[in-house]
Amino acid sequence: MLVGENENEIISGQNKAVTLASTTRVSDLASMLGVDPVELIKQLMRLGHMITLNDPLEYEIASKICTAYGIDVTSVSDQQSIDSGESSSTKGDLDLSQGAVERPPVVTVLGHVDHGKTTLLDSIRNTKKVDGEAGGITQHIGAYQVEYQDKSITFIDTPGHEAFTEMRARGAQLTDIAILVVAADDGLMPQTLEAISHIKAAGTPLIVAINKIDIPTADSDKVKRQLSENELLVEDWGGDVISVNISALKSEGIDDLLENILLVAEINELKTNPELSGTGVVIEAKVDKAMGNIVSVIVQSGFLRVSDYIESKNSKGKIRALLDENGKRVGKAGISMPVEILGLDNLPQPGDLIEVKPDSKNHKKKSSINSNVNTQSGITSTQAGNLLLQKNREDLVFLNLIIKTDVIGTIEAITKSVTAFDSESAKVNIVHAAVGTISPSDVSLALTTESVICGFNATTEAAARTLAKTSDVEIKNYNVIYNFLEFVEERLGKSKKAEFVDVIEGQAKVQEVFNVSKGRTVAGFVVTDGVISRGADIHVIRNNEEIFVGPISSLKHYKDDVKQVRAGTEGGMVVEGFSEIEQGDVLESHKLVEAQS
């Protein structure tokens, strides 16, 4: 049964009467009407009443709902209230949950690559930011919070590529609600099925977001049919799985999706006791050159406060600072709030529990082996020699890799990904994997073991870059794992696609800086070596450190647009996405050139 937009519309022919007090709980009203409580809450929400199962309904609202269901209503005095909330049994339930308060739901968005997961997250983040935020998200901490209908919702921003299976599975376990994004044109794809398995295994409540409904080839019925074939029957097909049609690109259906998230949260009665000791679950961990170990967590109970002493399975320390999703310092973080912690002596694994302890005296000292086991993996000099012996086998194609990443979770995903390439004729060895910058010691190890260094959002130290050039060590940088896997496949000889190498075609030095408009800076330069060409990527180097990489959006010689500026010639350029150029910066021009076989 559905309630129409007109609250007085009779939609049921039931000939039944109920007696209502001045207030009646929603759950009791559902029982009186003989309807599903979830369905009743939905109808109330559609009529603008944001309430939960245990909330009281005023007589006027309850009577209108009864009338809409074709049920006669009589009233009694407050002293004759039949609200079961006044019963002794209910009072006993309240005593059991004394001190518990409602908490924001934690939501993970899963789905096949290119089905719009990232677009949906961006759309929600940009349109439903908490009031008072200045600008957008300034740094990625793996999660963010939005407000809708005066209630907070926490979203975990997990990677969407199939190689990050472990991260997605871990993310589902951290969450209260999972959003499965399915493109209305493609339907269920391999990663969609994979995500469904993770959600089912975790027992997480599910909402299906059918995306791209605005395109001509959209077919939501096909999606629902495929879902039913995988034991997920949506509500309008007679099942209990909520589905919402959306266009993430056009921000259509976002309110409906958020409304259903709050509905599922209310049904599951997510509560916590704020008086409990502070705990949090790690969602990411990384090393920052300036701030040291940074651990992103979602608070699970109580509060995390600056100066609290905290412990996890392999790390400990006093909280030096707490940073919210916008990089702002906060004094404390409450339940379901995503926050970055500074002060731990080591990087915990995603999924690890962090707990507030009375003091550091109770912390059991861990060995240095245990403290490092989760942040890096490597080999001994003897093992390095064995790798070279193996590499000389004529019947095997070997690829030795040194992996450096910005966050620890990426290491696990990459390690699992490359095992798929192992066969009787090919072998991929992870010689060393760690969080941090690509250093001269990495280059030395690569030279010894004949390895390729692969960085994932990891910067290369100036000294390492110089040493790599003189030692002929290959350094590759990626931010998408697809490209890395393609490189591995090509290097092992399983693909004949053209390989491209990064070539430095020239260098220039900034002599003057002109601020022509807000966010647009022109760098006046002189080419000191080679050429600077339109279409090249510019690596901005300051104090021997690479600080930015981006394409040239404008290249001029005096007032003329030019394709190229040669050595000894002056020019002006705008580097797309970067306006903080300073006098004395070095501009290094890079181009991808097809490698000669």
| Architecture of the domain delimited by 279-362 | Beta Barrel (2.40)
Distance CA 266, CA 268 (A): 5
Q: Structure tokens of 306? A: 């600056």
Closest to 463 measured CA to CA, from 571, 546, 344: 546
Residue 559 CB partners (closer than 8 Å, separation 6+): none
Every domain of the chain with CATH number 3.40.50.300 lies at 102-272
Task: Give the angle subtended at the CA of 527 by the CAs of 526 and 528, to the nearest 5°.
Answer: 110
Query: Which residue's structure tokens are 């089912």?
Result: 200
Q: Structure tokens of 145? A: 């919070």
DSSP state of 252: B
Classify strands 353-357 and 279-288 as parallel, antiparallel or unpaired.
antiparallel
Contact assessment for residue 75 and residue 19, using Cβ atoms and an 8 Å cutoff = yes
Give residue 413's identity as a one-letter amino acid code: A
φ and ψ at residue 491, rounded to 5 degrees: -65, -30
For the beta carbon of residue 131, count every other beta carbon within 10 angstroms: 5
376-497 belongs to CATH 3.40.50.10050: yes
Residue 424 CB partners (closer than 8 Å, separation 6+): none
Assess whether pLDDT exceeds 80 at residue 224. yes
Q: What is the DSSP string of 148-181?
A: ETTEEEEEE----SGGGHHHHHHHHHH-SEEEEE
Class of domain 16-96: mainly alpha
Every domain of the chain with CATH number 2.40.30.10 lies at 279-362, 502-594
Q: Which residues pair with 283 in a beta bridge?
A: none
> What is residue 416's predicted lDDT score, i.e. its pLDDT?
76
Phi-psi region for residue 134, left (φ > 0), alpha (ψ -120 to 50) or beta? beta
> What is residue 167's predicted lDDT score, i.e. its pLDDT?
42
Contact assessment for residue 326 and residue 131, using Cβ atoms and an 8 Å cutoff = no
Phi-psi region for residue 307, left (φ > 0), alpha (ψ -120 to 50) or beta? left
Residue 197 CB partners (closer than 8 Å, separation 6+): none
18-65 confidence digits (pLDDT tens)? 877 767 777 778 878 888 777 787 777 777 676 766 667 778 788 888
331-340 confidence digits (pLDDT tens)? 999 999 999 9
- DSSP helix/strand/coil, 42: helix
> What is residue 396's predicted lDDT score, i.e. its pLDDT?
67
Residue 13 CB partners (closer than 8 Å, separation 6+): 70
- CATH H-level, domain 502-594: superfamily: Translation factors (2.40.30.10)
Task: Give residue 129's pLDDT band: very low, low, confident or very high (50, 70, 90).
Answer: low
Residues in the chain: 597
For helices 165-174 and 190-202, angle between their N-to-C axes, nearest 10 degrees: 40
* Of 278 and 4, more confident: 278
Task: State in Å, rounded, how far the first CA of the chain is from the last one.
Answer: 70
Distance CA 376, CA 391 (A): 23
Distance CA 503, CA 531 (A): 12
Classify strands 177-183 and 206-211 as parallel, antiparallel or unpaired.
parallel
Burial class (CB in 10 A: 0-12, 13-18, 19+), 380: exposed
Give residue 256's identity as a one-letter amino acid code: D
The alpha carbon of residue 416 and the mean position of all alpha carbons in its chain are separated, in whole angstroms, by 20
> What is residue 201's predicted lDDT score, i.e. its pLDDT?
62
Task: Give the angle subtended at the CA of 516 by the CAs of 512 and 520, to the nearest 5°.
Answer: 95
> What is residue 84's predicted lDDT score, i.e. its pLDDT?
38
Classify strands 376-377 and 520-533 as parallel, antiparallel or unpaired.
unpaired
Assess whether pLDDT exceeds 80 at residue 378. no
**How many CA within 13 A on the CB side of residue 572?**
15
Q: Which residues pair with 286 in a beta bridge?
A: 294, 407
Residue 370 CB partners (closer than 8 Å, separation 6+): 314
pTM of the model: 0.52
Assess whether pLDDT exceeds 80 at residue 81. no
Q: Structure tokens of 179? A: 């959003």
239-279 confidence digits (pLDDT tens)? 889 999 999 999 999 999 999 999 999 998 888 888 888 99
> What is residue 34's predicted lDDT score, i.e. its pLDDT?
81
Closest to 407 measured CA to CA, from 281, 283, 285, 282: 285
For helices 26-33 and 37-46, angle between their N-to-C axes, nearest 10 degrees: 110
> What is residue 304's predicted lDDT score, i.e. its pLDDT?
94
436-490 confidence digits (pLDDT tens)? 889 888 888 888 788 999 998 888 988 899 999 988 899 999 887 778 888 888 8
Burial class (CB in 10 A: 0-12, 13-18, 19+), 597: exposed
564 to 62, 527, 572, 589: CA distances (angstroms): 75, 11, 11, 11
- CATH H-level, domain 102-272: superfamily: P-loop containing nucleotide triphosphate hydrolases (3.40.50.300)
The alpha carbon of residue 510 and the mean position of all alpha carbons in its chain are separated, in whole angstroms, by 37
Contact assessment for residue 163 and residue 485, using Cβ atoms and an 8 Å cutoff = yes
Distance CA 110, CA 122 (A): 14
Query: Which residue's structure tokens are 């997480």?
Result: 204
523-557 confidence digits (pLDDT tens)? 999 999 999 998 888 999 999 888 998 888 889 98
- DSSP helix/strand/coil, 260: helix
Longest CA–CA separation in the chain, Å = 95
Every domain of the chain with CATH number 3.40.50.10050 lies at 376-497
Q: List the beta strands (DSSP E) in 385-519.
A: 397-405, 426-435, 451-456, 475-478, 500-517
Classify strands 586-594 and 537-542 as parallel, antiparallel or unpaired.
antiparallel
Percent of the chain with pLDDT over 90: 29
Residue 35 CB partners (closer than 8 Å, separation 6+): 1, 69
Task: Mark 210-225 as b/e (b = at least 16 C-beta within 10 Å).
Answer: bbbbeeeebebebbbe
Contact assessment for residue 184 and residue 210, using Cβ atoms and an 8 Å cutoff = yes
